[in-house]
Every structure is written in structure tokens, then in C-alpha cells.
Chains A and B, each alone.
Chain A
Amino acid sequence: MSRYYTEDHEWVEVDGDIGTVGISEYAQSQLGDIVFVETPDAGKEVSKGDDVAVVESVKAASDVYSPVSGTVLEGNDALADTPELVNEDPEGDGWFFKITLSDASEVEGLMNESAYAEFVSKL
């Protein structure tokens, strides 16, 4: 399994042709307390860069872009009642959705963990 990051602070963990997507620790720390998350429905076809989920902090709403193209397998239903999971464990239990990748080579354009850490350190 490998984890990749976007410059827009999403991560995708790829296992075979299944990807799990969420937002990074840095993103949750900047957003502050998350109060609402909307995840995509299973079966939704998405292209890389589409806005597929919404995350709201107390003050503002942000769109979450899909780091890869494919078909949504499931959204994380737990976030509906416990959006604070995104604050507590953004890169674990706070995942947003799982997706079947249509083009595994897309991840080659993304950053790995150390490259992302360096990217964030310069923000």
C-alpha cells in the first residue's frame, strides 16, 4: 500500500485498484473544528480534480477534490454523526470515501509522504 498527497491537501491510500481518500493532518489543523462533512454516494463517477465532498468548519465550507478518477465505492457514513473524527484522526478513521481507480497511473503525479511534508513546511 502507498499513500499519496495532493497540493490541495487530500491524501489517497492505494491498495490494488482501491483508493481511500481523506484530508491531511495539516488541512484539519488549518480548518479547526469540523462540524459537518458530506461524502459522495456509492456509484458516483468522478474525474481527478472534481469536487466530490464538502467539509465545513464553524466558519467556512470547503470542497474536497478527488485526487484520482474512478467510481466511488462508499462514503464514510460515520462522518455524518461524528464529523470530529476528521479532527481526531484525519489520516485514519476520518477518511472521506473509497474509490475504484480507473487509471492507477494518475497517482504518479502526486506527492509521497516526505514530499508532502516538505511542501507543507514551506506554506
Chain B
Amino acid sequence: MSNINASGWRPTTPEAGESNAATATGNRALMLEEPLIFEIGSISKTGVDFGDAPTGTSRLGGLERHQDIGLPGLSEPETVRHYTRLSRQNYAIDLGLFPLGSCTMKHNPRLNERMARLPGFADLHPLTPVDACQGAFEVIDQLAHWLITLTGMHSVAMSPKAGAHGELCGVLAIRAALDARGEQARKILLVPISAHGTNPATAAFAGFTVEDIPATDDGRVDLEALKARLGPDIAGVMITNPNTCGLFERDMRAISDAVHAAGGYVYCDGANFNAIVGRVRPGDLGVDAMHINLHKTFSTPHGGGGPGSGPVVLSEALTPYAPLPFVEKTADGFRLVEEETAGEHHAGSFGRMTAFHGQMGMFTRALTYILSHGADGLRQVAEDAVLNANYILRSMEDVLDAPFAKSGPCMHEAIFSDKGLPEGFSTIDIAKGLIDEGYHPMTVYFPLVVHGAMLVEPTETESKATLDQFIHAFRSVAERAKGGDPAIRTAPHFAPRRRLDETLAARKPVLAWKEPVGAQAAE
């Protein structure tokens, strides 16, 4: 068999006889139970007054609907309360420290939002004539200039809409470059085991075969193993730097040189760019393509508040293959280069990844963040993010095993393992214990190379006082687990839900709401 659960992860299951003191309503103090929207209100109710539907001849040819379509019927206050109650069950960066690792959950400055809501940006339609959106194109162009400058690369493809979408863009550019060289036989992408899980998925999705490269004991890419695997069948390598062990790949230049000498390309996963922005230019390390998660490093919202955005910076070698469309500066202002206008000077493009030019709202937010920080401010972002992660690492290493603590300072995230916990206690218990203490858990059981991994990325957002509070809670939960406190094994005790039966949920998933039998008749 292939990997049999290297991370040691186990699903949670409820303990027998576990229960909370019941209330008549099911609510717990001001934390309210909330049914599904289909279970409240009634079909006869509506929050909006509609006029009668127009009658007349229809061109649907007998396909008209006559029966109820089962939409929920709620008044306006019921609707507002439903979604407000649901929002209170969420944990957000606006509520507290969000320690998810390899995620860069940093504060989203409100100035970003103010700029993104300027009508000249917010109300633009993607099909607005080019003459009427020169300002928006200038935002895209300025942001592109900053991304190219910060990374030391040759160009940037702005249209990819998330990190993994950016990975696909970079890998497709590599494929196009190899095809242009007539090297269709290069079908293998090497992916170190310290890379993000999306990397092998992207490579496979793009039609490459994936091969692992092992890590050394100190958590970095095994350079010799990588060199030994290079050859005429290798398309390139996908490396996450800083990697998921929270370490800077200090052999990056040597890796790039070896890969280039063997005829391959270097893709760098830039999800952890926050730790090195303003300090290291990936272009200087020989990277050919790297995506930048604007929703991580450049403070645009993660989900909910807005879509992701994953521009991809490209080396000179890959630039001719960048996707369409893109914004180009000309003597007469900005224009959008599309299929019809690409002509000779961009004939090598591998095609189109998106309908339009990218996530305009995220571009505006990211440029606002960059301009309000300036070059010196961005450099301090990286320094403070690394300082905060090291503060957590050194504040916890006497309680929890820190497998790479001897590999030098960590970068953006501190990593711990479940080594030293008593029999029957695992990482999941510490994660659930943190929920009782009011924190969203850290990333758990990833990377797979660390048994029972706990990955904490505080980011530069947090003050020393906030970090000290978190460390106090984290230490307290970890010490209780180490001491064998049975209550930790049944945490969370104070959350609206206790441990869920993850096995049952996976074996018998309920994926859609079904109207209870007899409900119609009862109405």
C-alpha cells in the first residue's frame, strides 16, 4: 500500500455518555441554535411584495413550471436574524488571533475596503470600454509593477484567481515552454514532500506525473536526492519556499541551477511569501514562476469578504507563454491584450484562464496595502512575521516537541509534533482544547512529514500582548494533555457542538436537505 497515514491523524468520535446540561431551547446562553433556512418560516410567507406574474403566450413550449419550487419563505427580520446568527458561529480574524499555518491570516486593513468601494472601481463592469476604465487599468499596471519589483521577476500574469489557480498557470506556462522547445518527453514534475499539498495536485491536473523528493532530517529538500533524479524526462520542480516545515530552503539557488542545467524549470509556491517579502527576491534564486496569494501576503480577505487572487510572476524564459488577457501600457494609454490583439508579439500564450482580467477588487485592496506600507513597511512585515513565529516557537518548545527547533530560526510558522504526549493523547485533543479557550485551532496533521503536526502562523498582525495570551492558553492546554488530563480528551466542553462523529459523516454523508416526510400534508 502507499502511505498509511504518515501524519498519525485520527477522526474524532464522541465519547459515550457525553452530554451538556440541556436547555429548553437548545440555545447555550447567547450562542443560539440555528436551524437550516428551509426549516424556518413557511412557503406562504415572503419578505417582498411581488406584482402578479404577467400572463400571455410563453415560448417555453410546455416546459413551464406549475408546482411549488420549495423556496424558503421568510420575512425580512427572520432573514436578517438567520444570517446574523450564522455569522456569530464563525471565527474570524476580526475576532481574534487566527493561528492556521501556511495560511497567513493577517489583518485586512479597512483602508483597503474604502479604496475598493470607490465607485470608479467598484461599479466597473468587465466589459466597460477600455477608454472608460483607464484608471482601473492603471491600478492593475501599478500593482503588476510592485509584484515584479518585489519578486525580481520579468513579468506577471494577473488573471489567476487563487493560489492553486496560479500554480496551474505557472505549470501550464512550463508545459508551453517545453512544447515550444519540442521537449514533449519531459512529463515528470518533482515535488519535495515539504511542499504544499496543492502542488502535486496541480501538477497531476496539468497532465504531469508527480514524483516525491525526500526531505533531510532538518526539514529541507534533500539536494543530493533531487540532483540524482534530474534528467531528460524531468519538466521541473515545484518547491514551496519558505516550506511547510516553516524553514527557508537555503539551497534554493543550487536547486535552481541544477534544475536549469538539466533543462527543467523551477516553480516556487509563493503562499509563504509573507515571511520574505521585501527581504528576498525569488528571481534572484532562479525561480521561473511563482504565484502570490494576494489574500495572504497583501491582506485581501480570505473567503467570505471576497474572492482569492493569485497573480503569477514569470521569468524571462516563461514570459512569452503567459495567459491572455493582460493589460499593456502604450503611448496612448492602457489597453487589454486579447486573442485578437496579441498578434506576433505574444503568439506563444498558452491561452486563457479566466473570462476577464482578474479580481479587480483584490487588485485595488492589494495595491492600497502596498502603497500604504511602502517598501520599508513591507520589509518590516516580513521581519515582524518571522519574529512573532520565533517567539511562539521558543515559548512553547519546552512543553511541546519542536522537531525543527535545532534547524535554526523558523520563518513564518512554528511547528510542533505530538511526540511526548501520553498514550491516548494526540494533536486533535490540543486543537479541541484550544476551542474551549476561545481560539481557532492551528493547522493540524500537516505537513505529513511530522507526526501529529501542529502548525502555528501568528503573522505580523499580532502584538506581544496578544501573543502572550495565546501562548498562555496554548501552554495550558498542552500541559494538561501532557499531564494526562482526561477532560482534554473530551474537549471542547463549552462549544455549541462537542466532538463530531467524523467517521459516520464520511461513511454516510448527508449532502442535501430533504423535506421531512409528511411535512407537506401537515401544512
**For chains A and B in complex, what number of residue pairs have CB atoms within 8 angstroms?**
55
Contact of B2 with A32 in the complex, beta carbons under 8 Å: no
Task: Give the complex CA separation of A7 and B5 in angstroms.
Answer: 15
What 0/1 pattern do residues 1 to 40 of B give for CB contact below 8 A with A? 1111101011100000000000000000000000000000
Known: A58-B11, A65-B1. 8 other contacts (CB 8 A): A33-B503, A33-B507, A35-B506, A57-B11, A58-B502, A62-B4, A64-B1, A83-B507
Q: Which of A9, A62, A63, A84 contacts B507 (CB 8 A)?
A: A84
- How many Å from the CB of B255 to the closest CB on chain A? 28
- How many Å from the CB of B429 to the closest CB on chain A? 15
Question: Contacts A32-B11, A33-B11, A59-B9 known; A8 to B1 CB distance under 8 Å?
Answer: yes
Q: 6 A–B contact pairs at CB < 8 A?
A: A23-B1, A30-B5, A33-B506, A35-B503, A55-B1, A58-B506
What 0/1 pattern do residues 204 to 220 of B give for CB contact below 8 A with A? 00000000000000000
In this assembly, does B470 line the interface, its C-beta being within 8 Å of a C-beta of chain A? no
Task: Give the complex CA separation of A31 and B7 in angstroms.
Answer: 10
Contact of B503 with A31 in the complex, beta carbons under 8 Å: no
- How many Å from the CB of B183 to the closest CB on chain A? 28
Contact of B2 with A63 in the complex, beta carbons under 8 Å: yes
CB neighbours (8 Å) of A62 from chain B are 1-5
CB neighbours (8 Å) of B3 from chain A are 60, 62
CB neighbours (8 Å) of B1 from chain A are 8-10, 23, 27, 55, 62-65
- How many Å from the CB of B452 to the closest CB on chain A? 13
CB neighbours (8 Å) of A8 from chain B are 1-2
- How many Å from the CB of B427 to the closest CB on chain A? 12
What 0/1 pattern do residues 480 to 521 of B give for CB contact below 8 A with A? 000000000000000000000011001100000000000000
Q: Quick one: closest A residue to B13, CB to CB?
A: A33
CB neighbours (8 Å) of B369 from chain A are none
Task: Give the complex CA separation of A58 and B4 in angstroms.
Answer: 12
Question: Contacts A33-B503, A35-B507, A58-B506 known; A9 to B4 CB distance under 8 Å?
Answer: yes
In this assembly, does A51 line the interface, its C-beta being within 8 Å of a C-beta of chain B? yes
In this assembly, does B273 line the interface, its C-beta being within 8 Å of a C-beta of chain A? no
Task: Give the complex CA separation of A59 and B7 in angstroms.
Answer: 10
Question: Contacts A35-B503, A58-B506 known; A30 to B4 CB distance under 8 Å?
Answer: yes
CB neighbours (8 Å) of A23 from chain B are 1
Contact of B2 with A27 in the complex, beta carbons under 8 Å: no
Task: Give the complex CA separation of A64 and B9 in angstroms.
Answer: 19
Q: Quick one: closest B residue to A32, CB to CB?
A: B10
In this assembly, does B445 line the interface, its C-beta being within 8 Å of a C-beta of chain A? yes
CB neighbours (8 Å) of B10 from chain A are 32
Contact of B5 with A60 in the complex, beta carbons under 8 Å: yes
Contact of B507 with A32 in the complex, beta carbons under 8 Å: no
CB neighbours (8 Å) of A9 from chain B are 1, 4
Contact of A57 with B5 in the complex, beta carbons under 8 Å: yes
Q: Could you say which interface size class chain B belongs to?
A: 10 to 19
Give the one of B2, B3, B4, B5 with max A CB within 10 A. B4
CB neighbours (8 Å) of A27 from chain B are 1, 4
What 0/1 pattern do residues 52 to 93 of A give for CB contact below 8 A with B? 000101111011110000000000000000011000000000
What 0/1 pattern do residues 421 to 433 of B give for CB contact below 8 A with A? 0000000000000
- How many Å from the CB of A24 to the closest CB on chain B? 9
- How many Å from the CB of A118 to the closest CB on chain B? 18
Q: Quick one: closest A residue to B502, CB to CB?
A: A58
CB neighbours (8 Å) of A84 from chain B are 507
CB neighbours (8 Å) of A32 from chain B are 5, 9-11
CB neighbours (8 Å) of A83 from chain B are 507
Task: Give the complex CA separation of A30 and B8 in angstroms.
Answer: 7
Contact of A59 with B4 in the complex, beta carbons under 8 Å: no
Q: Which of B2, B7, B503 contacts A58 (CB 8 A)?
A: B503
- How many Å from the CB of B446 to the closest CB on chain A? 10
Q: Quick one: closest B residue to A23, CB to CB?
A: B1
Task: Give the complex CA separation of A54 and B2 in angstroms.
Answer: 10
Task: Give the complex CA separation of A76 and B455 in angstroms.
Answer: 40
Task: Give the complex CA separation of A84 and B506 in angstroms.
Answer: 12
What 0/1 pattern do residues 1 to 27 of A give for CB contact below 8 A with B? 000000011100000000000010001
Contact of B445 with A59 in the complex, beta carbons under 8 Å: yes
- How many Å from the CB of B272 to the closest CB on chain A? 23
- How many Å from the CB of B174 to the closest CB on chain A? 27
CB neighbours (8 Å) of B11 from chain A are 32-33, 57-59
Task: Give the complex CA separation of A59 and B2 in angstroms.
Answer: 14
Task: Give the complex CA separation of A96 and B4 in angstroms.
Answer: 16
Q: Quick one: closest B residue to A83, CB to CB?
A: B507
Q: Quick one: closest B residue to A9, CB to CB?
A: B1
CB neighbours (8 Å) of B4 from chain A are 9, 27, 30-31, 62
Task: Give the complex CA separation of A41 and B92 in angstroms.
Answer: 47
- How many Å from the CB of B431 to the closest CB on chain A? 14
Q: Quick one: closest A residue to B3, CB to CB?
A: A62
CB neighbours (8 Å) of A63 from chain B are 1-2
Q: Quick one: closest B residue to A51, CB to CB?
A: B2
Task: Give the complex CA separation of A32 and B507 in angstroms.
Answer: 13
Q: Quick one: closest A residue to B448, CB to CB?
A: A60
- How many Å from the CB of B423 to the closest CB on chain A? 14
- How many Å from the CB of A31 to the closest CB on chain B? 5
B-contacting residues, A73-123, CB 8 Å: 83-84
Question: Contacts A58-B11, A59-B11, A59-B445 known; A31 to B5 CB distance under 8 Å?
Answer: yes
Q: Quick one: closest A residue to B508, CB to CB?
A: A35
CB neighbours (8 Å) of B2 from chain A are 8, 51, 62-63, 65
CB neighbours (8 Å) of B506 from chain A are 33, 35-36, 58
Q: Quick one: closest B residue to A84, CB to CB?
A: B507
Task: Give the complex CA separation of A31 and B3 in angstroms.
Answer: 9
Q: Quick one: closest B residue to A7, CB to CB?
A: B1
Q: Quick one: closest B residue to A55, CB to CB?
A: B1
Task: Give the complex CA separation of A65 and B506 in angstroms.
Answer: 24
